[in-house]
Structure 1
Amino acid sequence: MPVLGNHYGRILEDGELQLSYEDGDFVIHYHEHLFPVAPSSAAEILSRAGEDDGSKESRIKAEVTRLNHDPDALDTVIEQQHYRLAFWRMADTDLGYRRFFNISDLARIRVEDKTVFAAVHALPLAWVKKGWVQGLRIDHPDGLWDPAQYFHRLQKACPDAWIVVEKILEPKENLASDWPVAGTTGYDFMNLAGGLFVNPASEEVLTQLYADFTGIQQPFEALVHECKHLVLTTILQSEIRRLTSLFEEICERHRRHRDYSRQELRRALCQTAIHFPVYRSYVSASENRVSEEDEHHINAAIEGAAMVRTDLDPDLFLFLKDLLLLQTRGALEAELAMRFQQLTGPAMAKGVEDTAFYRYHRLVCLNEVGGDPGRFGVHPRQFHGACARAQKEHPLGLLASTTHDTKRSEDVRARLALLSEIPDPWADAVRRWASNNARHRSGGVPDANTEYLLYQTLVGAWPIDLERICAYMEKAVKEAKVHTSWTAPNNAYERGLADFIAAVLADRTFCTDLENFVADLVAPGRINSLAQTLIKLTAPGVPDIYQGTELWDLSLVDPDNRRPVDFALRRRLLSQLPQMSPEEILTGMDKGLPKLWVIRQALHLRRTLPEFFGPRADYCPLYATGQKADHLVAFFRGQDVISLAPRLVMGLDNDWDDTILELPSGKWHNVLTGDEADGGAVRLQELLHRFPVGLLMKRK
């Protein structure tokens, strides 16, 4: 148990480990941690206490006091336990159990065991049975031994429950078809919808700007491999060590592979995990099942690893591939395949989301959970195709735009996406700010890459106070693990960064320039946010509204996005909306009234017309014609609802020129403005002149 703040012997001799007797049981205390004492060693303590005179209670207390004042005697008791207390730094290399990423206090349990499953799920399943809970959100399914088996068992236990899974899908990856779940928790949708507001035409310019400013020209894919290697050889060392021991034992049983060294086996496993293109595969040893998708991913990982590690015997990679594809029989062989799958997910999560995303800052609105910063923008046709598939395959999946785990709120990302529409002004601003702030740097702190992240963060979250931005930047550089980290903090670098931030925020020249730059982004950023919100509320799936995002929310990664929310304010504003005209609502733009209005009206429409948003509803793209047709994302829900959302709005100024939308015959009512429109060719300007987005309902 690697929970001690120093070496075990030092902690023991300093008196930080203490034995106590509470309610008839012996307990070992280490600050807030409590550890049980095995019955056998407890019996020994009791037997020694029984040799003295006096009451039983006083004899036990006297023996406990004696042990706590004798490090050697207390050490004997502690060493008799079924666990070993150790310095926390040993966790990365010598941990004897699986843990949640690098959090040693969160031991993973074998939920694949039916008895464990029953114990773990007894309470939530009781809530479901009583009707207190209608759905379950399953986090981190990729850590399971056999996710498909787990979800079938869960579905059988609560057949009527709505179940969504926090499965992170890479681009072009599909949710496993044999999982009986409603869908994901919506990170795939978040990145798909967010990509609509990124202008792909600016990719080359922003890539060059990033390279020129930071000196970094490394492709994102190469950075991913580098960061996955880092976490596999540091915080995931214990996982690799156990897997290597298993691989070594297997090789000893196969004469063609018995002569590989332990180091060769470890390198082959590491490199294959590094090149795994998705979070994990889902082969099932118990059912001898390997899907075509699993085979494709495993082959890609093996080929990539073998191309890089040319110093290793190619036959070793072929043997590993056979093991992962269940083509070599045996209990240990099957265990390796299943255990390897539980390694690649943490390698991806910690290597990419929690390391590479904090090192690669070309356009940070793309650095989101489940996102690919190398994918620059999403075309409307691509978006429509994905939505059509979602309606067919997972019409009740969750649709997220902000969660407790997002790197930036939806409103921060919506504003930052605008930088892709103004690459030249952005480049000028960054160079101007860097020149102005050079005098505030000391000892090369911050480096250019960190400074580039700082400027994007200030633009996205402005106005932001010194405490919040310093806390965010400290976390960012620690997660990046370049100059400092959580396990090896560089206090001098962190102080230098904090001093730099304080200096630039006290610099009126810089702050005035920053405020003027952001001022031009506030209104279009809010339109992006309204468009994104409407899309989420009307696309196939179940919209998820994270606490606080009912109004504008410029929060950053946790703990910033977990601050208290003023729900009384939101209730009060919500009660005022029905009496207000669209124009009055827009005058409350700074308060967030338009966003709250879109949410209210869209949810009301979903409740009024559930048949157009449920699992049997239709989804059909609607395309405009004219000069600015590409600036619109529009689609039908059923035959009677149309959603209209603008995109790439910088310079649009709500002027749609000759852009035309062909509406089906009949009367169409805009639930956001109350306006009416006849079917046929309608100028988009007429539909969106009073409110930035449109939600049309056909009159009966």
Structure 2
Amino acid sequence: MTHPRATLRLQLHHGFTFDDALAQLDYFAALGVSHLYLSPVTTAQPGSMHGYDTVDYGTVSAELGGEGALRRFAAKVHERGMGIIADFVPNHMGVGGAHNAWWLDILEWGRHSAYARHFDVDWHSPDPALRGKVLMPFLGAQYGEELAAGRIELKFDPAAARFYVQYGPHVCPICPTDYATLLQSANRADLNTLAGPFQGLTTQPDDQARAAAGRDALRAFVERVGTDPIDFVLESYSSGDPVPRERLHRLLERQHFRLAWWRTATDEINWRRFFDITALAGVRVERHDVFEAVHKLVFRLYADGVIDGLRIDHIDGLADPREYCERLRQRLVTLRATPPFVVVEKILAQGETLRDDWPVQGTTGYDFMNDVGAFLHDPAGAAPLAQAWAAISGDDRPFAAYALEARREMLAAYLPAELDHVTRALHRIARELPGTRDTTYASVHRVAANLAMYFPIYRIYPVNGLRSALDNRYFDVALEAARRSLPRASLAALDLVDGWLGGRAPEPAANNASSGSGNSGGGGGRTPRASPAGANANASAGNSQANTPLSHALIAQRTALALFSQLTAPLAAKATEDTALYRYGRLLSRNEVGADPDDFARTPHDFHATNRLRQRHPYGLLATATHDHKRGEDVRARLAVLSEIALDWSNTLRAWSTLNQTHRRNDAAAGAAWSPGPAAEAMLYQTLVGCWPPELDAGDEAGVHALAQRVSTWLLKALREAKLRTNWLSPDETYESECQAFLFDILAPQRRDGFLQALAGFVARVAPVGALNTLLQTVLRLTSPGVPDLYQGTELWDFSLVDPDNRRPVDYAARAAALDDQAPAAKLKDWRNAHVKLATVHRLLALRAKMPELLREGEYLPLTVSGAQASHVFAFARHHGNTWAVVIGTRLAAGLLDGDTPLVAPARWEDTTVELPKGCRQATLHDWLSDATHTVPEGGTLALRDILGAMPVAVLSTLTRS
């Protein structure tokens, strides 16, 4: 299977399985994609709707149909000449619950578990209550309260002959070293005999085998006589009465886990999480053994030809992304003759590019989504919209200030444990040398916090413990900002930390007996995980070179760097994507994953420049919608229109706020903050304008109510993510219900002649321009250098909001029924049904199939536009061999449209022309979107009144459809 020319992302879950996807294969093939791009297929937590909470890397999810169904599906896909790209999650696993065997084993055996080094657990916590233990912060209330309420119960699994503690869905195995005590507590001769093999048991591997034999005897006993004798044991540890409850408490205190209230996680968690999600634990995939165990299934599926490539989730969560990509490619190359296809989920900051030394095809396309989104915006709207937002919110700061404030809050309230892990790793380095040992923990903590807070990108990628010049380009931004913000007394510590975080080679420790690893015992200390896999293996094996003082210093520095990078990445995501983007509301179409709202608009020159850079990765994905987007691609395209009518929109906001003032809660209360508040109200209006379906009538009570339900779900999530008056940790349910009541009040049927009519009327004005933006965005995604990616269902309108709204079931029957060979231009008059969008996707996928190289990797040539309306045209050519394609599109058209159709009247173009490259001036060009044929005039220019007379976009090619 060759590399993809176009992908289609499918979200698999128990409601949409491999067999369900197979039932739609005819449609997918007819649409024209070459590869289906599947959400994770490994076994996840039961009922998972996304698959990112893997609990078993070794099996295909039974809820999706199992490996047999996957292989049947893949066989049919390959029969069609198509392929499969599988999403894969090497960074974290789902924990808690009762289904992750690796995690349960470390709860049972602690740091001597066979899987102790599979997870990023700090077995040497400075907290004595956590030393050698795993924090399990899954209790709904204080530990003592839950224990007294009887919600923490000792139980027995007859099939596994295993004692365990259960709290709701969470299971924690009891270590077999306590089985003798448990069995003897019933004071029965038969159980006393069964206790024998467990007497004197330790957690060492040899004793684990002895415990297995004891379990076999216990299982045989239970099979023979039943569980009644065991019930006596359980009763003696029942928490219903004080004495057995105290006995249960003492038993729990001896385990390798500590049950805790879920709120303790932010301050005390001693293992790496995915962001701040306690149900997802970081995996040490940088270790050779863990890497092989994690990838065993996907390697087999790849070797067998079941899957044809991989999408790597959250690459920045790994200790060393570059090394991971190198090792992954090396392994894949040995399994198949064809070069492997690998893309990575990577958020790139403004001006940042994917590292050239990563052996991958490119990113999953957030960079393109940001570039094309900014290109749809009018830069003239930035200032008046900012002024309007400042007047509404009372805050005239740029987005960067919101993001910085959110970073400070995240470090203090959501990621303090992660910051502590970084600080302790750095402080251990300080203690190694006489010259730095008096550097205090507090001073290092202040420095690390400031560096992380001001870090301009997700993370850096040092090699062998040292930052490169490219790393320093970004690190120095944080360094200088920290230097300005820290007190003078901390600047010496800042210089030290700069060096320890890769600014200079490490000095050998004076005494390697107290190495930088901080490891005093067996099991899985954190330190070796940050080094490359070879160093990990040598350090673990006691290699003499690995035990030199310099090696210890190098490992300690690599550890600190990895921990710092594994802090800055989630900090950037949590502060920006999950907080600041819900607080700042100048224009929500620029509040998207991978975007910077301060980077408001892009010029044609800017977009040409990024497309030329994109040619360096011609197999990188081009996305405009994903399973993680904040707003659907067509919501953003419509909201971008507001940048063209900024003053009109500002006046509309004020009018609507006045119109709906009577529906606010607490508005008249003295000194009380009213609900939803000015900023939240303004963002709500933007959301309603953006997602209002084109065909929805204000008098359609059922339709408006269905929309209100969807927006209500978004509103609750938006308020909690903003973390201003409510949040996920301590929700203010009164405020939330008042905000939702406000929404339902303003959309109530009795408002049909008031706000509802005003809202629907405004949407009717901007929707045609938004549809034009959609068509331009669609064409750019399908003709720019790279591989276009379609998110499920977005061939028709995508007016979705943030998940779970963007993961709703797709009506494939409606899409299949609308798919035909008619030109998109023939469907433009009925644009509200979105068939013109579907036809545009279909036609351009057909062009890519006919000449894949032309649009994927062909030469990219910006074209010169001249005339009265030149600023409203974007044009470029693609060239490969003797084949040409010329792409011309209408942009910033709010002032050009006369009716309710997304098309500029030919006369409005006046003398505007596009100059063609010399190589295609003598050609006859076929427009794949209108089926018109154009003969290039002698001068080599095309008049826009001729080219854009049937569609607001044109894709002209020397290739014809026949």
Report TM bin, short chain: over 0.9
Does the 8 Å CA contact 2:447/2:490 hold for their aligned counterparts? no
- The residue aligned with 1:656 is 909
1:511 aligns with 2:756: yes
- The residue aligned with 1:457 is 687
- Gap change, CA 1:387 and 1:195, over 3 Å in 2: same
Unaligned 5+ residue runs, structure 1?
Answer: none
Q: Which amino acid aligns with 1:25?
A: R
- Gap change, CA 1:589 and 1:332, over 3 Å in 2: same
SS at match of 1:544: strand
1:490 aligns with 2:756: no
Which of 121, 136, 149 aligns to 2:310? It is 136
TM-score normalised to the size of structure 2? 0.70
Does the 8 Å CA contact 2:465/2:502 hold for their aligned counterparts? no
Q: Which amino acid aligns with 2:144?
A: G
Does the 8 Å CA contact 1:530/1:693 hold for their aligned counterparts? yes
Query: What is the CA deviation profile of residues 162-183 of structure 1, one whole-angstrom value per residue up to 9, with x for unaligned ones?
Result: 1111100001001111110000
Shift of 1:251: 2.1
Q: Distance in 1 between matches of 2:249 and 2:435?
A: 47
Query: What is the CA deviation profile of residues 182-222 of structure 1, one whole-angstrom value per residue up to 9, with x for unaligned ones?
Result: 00110111010111110001211111111112211122222
Which of 888, 895, 919 aligns to 1:644? It is 888
1:370 aligns with 2:629: no
Which of 251, 255, 259 aligns to 2:430? It is 251
Shift of 1:567: 0.8
TM-score normalised to the size of structure 1? 0.96
1:395 aligns with 2:618: yes
SS at match of 1:640: strand
Q: Which amino acid aligns with 1:193?
A: V
- The residue aligned with 2:610 is 386
Which of 482, 485, 497 aligns to 1:320? It is 497
Correspondences of 1:298-697 after superposition (within 5 Å): 298-329=475-506, 330=553, 331-391=555-615, 393-443=616-666, 444-463=674-693, 465-506=707-748, 507-508=751-752, 509-574=754-819, 577-578=820-821, 580=822, 582=824, 584-615=826-857, 617-638=858-879, 639-653=883-897, 654=904, 655-663=908-916, 664-679=921-936, 680-697=940-957
Query: What is the CA deviation profile of residues 459-485 of structure 1, one whole-angstrom value per residue up to 9, with x for unaligned ones?
Result: 101146221111111111110111110
Q: Which amino acid aligns with 1:451?
A: E
Q: Which amino acid aligns with 1:72?
A: E
Q: Distance in 2 between matches of 1:689 and 1:291?
A: 53
Q: Distance in 1 between matches of 2:942 and 2:682?
A: 44
Q: Distance in 1 between matches of 2:677 and 2:856?
A: 50
1:176 aligns with 2:346: no
Correspondences of 1:79-90 after superposition (within 5 Å): 79-90=253-264
Does the 8 Å CA contact 1:45/1:63 hold for their aligned counterparts? yes
Shift of 1:51: 2.9
Q: Which amino acid aligns with 1:642?
A: V
Shift of 1:303: 0.8
Range that drifts further, 270-279 or 689-698: 689-698
Shift of 1:289: 4.4
Shift of 1:536: 0.3
Which of 152, 162, 165 aligns to 1:17? It is 152
Unaligned 5+ residue runs, structure 2?
Answer: 1-135, 192-224, 334-338, 507-552, 667-673, 694-703, 898-903
Q: Distance in 2 between matches of 1:42 and 1:569?
A: 60
Q: Distance in 1 between matches of 2:482 and 2:825?
A: 60
Query: What is the CA deviation profile of residues 633-667 of structure 1, one whole-angstrom value per residue up to 9, with x for unaligned ones?
Result: 22222141122222111122213221112332210
Shift of 1:58: 3.0
Shift of 1:583: 5.2
Q: Which amino acid aligns with 2:771?
A: R
Q: Distance in 2 between matches of 1:47 and 1:605?
A: 76
- Gap change, CA 1:433 and 1:36, over 3 Å in 2: same
Which of 223, 227, 230 aligns to 1:60? It is 230
Range that drifts further, 234-243 or 580-589: 580-589
SS at match of 1:558: coil
Shift of 1:505: 1.4
Does the 8 Å CA contact 1:666/1:699 hold for their aligned counterparts? no
Q: Distance in 2 between matches of 1:439 and 1:394?
A: 55
Q: Distance in 1 between matches of 2:948 and 2:436?
A: 69
Q: Which amino acid aligns with 2:368?
A: F
Q: Distance in 2 between matches of 1:672 and 1:686?
A: 14
Does the 8 Å CA contact 2:641/2:892 hold for their aligned counterparts? yes
Shift of 1:373: 0.3
Shift of 1:123: 1.0
SS at match of 1:164: strand
SS at match of 2:654: helix
Q: Which amino acid aligns with 2:152?
A: L
Shift of 1:332: 2.2
Q: Distance in 2 between matches of 1:582 and 1:494?
A: 44
Q: Which amino acid aligns with 2:885?
A: V
Larger radius of gyration: 2
Q: Distance in 2 between matches of 1:429 and 1:264?
A: 51
How many positions carry a matched residue from both structures?
693
Q: Which amino acid aligns with 1:407?
A: K
Shift of 1:364: 1.0
Does the 8 Å CA contact 2:148/2:245 hold for their aligned counterparts? yes
Shift of 1:670: 0.6
User: What's the Cα RMSD here?
Assistant: 1.7
Q: Which amino acid aligns with 2:172?
A: F
Which of 470, 474, 487 aligns to 1:297? It is 474
Q: Distance in 2 between matches of 1:294 and 1:560?
A: 38
Does the 8 Å CA contact 2:867/2:913 hold for their aligned counterparts? yes
Does the 8 Å CA contact 1:52/1:59 hold for their aligned counterparts? no
SS at match of 1:29: strand
SS at match of 1:565: coil
Shift of 1:53: 5.2
Does the 8 Å CA contact 1:298/1:324 hold for their aligned counterparts? no
- Gap change, CA 1:262 and 1:581, over 3 Å in 2: closer
Query: What is the CA deviation profile of residues 36-92 of structure 1, one whole-angstrom value per residue up to 9, with x for unaligned ones?
Result: 222222343345458345947432233123323522222233222211111100000
